[in-house]
Amino acid sequence: MTSQHFVVRSAFLLSALLIGVLAGCGGGASSNGAPTDCLTVHPGADGTPRLTVVGKNLAFDVRCVNAQPGPLKVTFENHDA
């Protein structure tokens, strides 16, 4: 496989992942326009919103996140063997 094929294949996979993530947040909208199944993340004591996402059984416990623009600290925990 040439490097050009690798770049094209990587771009395609990234696009497919992005479409899947956006489609997962498509379950209706609340009054502020955010999907109703989204987790809203608020700033912590230091002003930075923090989110912990747990991966278990090949799935994440958070499907969609609604946060204000700016820094967001995300921690991923893998609970699979």
User: 46 near 34, Cβ under 8 Å?
Assistant: no
What is the residue type of 27?
G
Q: What is the pLDDT of residue 18?
A: 45
Question: pLDDT by residue for the chain (81 residues), tens digit each?
Answer: 565 554 446 555 445 444 554 455 555 555 666 567 789 999 988 999 999 999 999 999 998 999 989 999 999 999 998
Predicted TM-score of the model (pTM): 0.52
Task: Please report where in the chains the tokens 């700016």 appear, as a residue.
Answer: 70
Q: What is the pLDDT of residue 22?
A: 45
Distance CA 41, CA 61 (A): 14
Range of the domain at 73: 3-78
- Total domain count for the chain? 1
By three-state DSSP, how is residue 77 classified?
A: strand
Q: What is the pLDDT of residue 2?
A: 60
Write the DSSP symbol of residue 34.
Answer: S
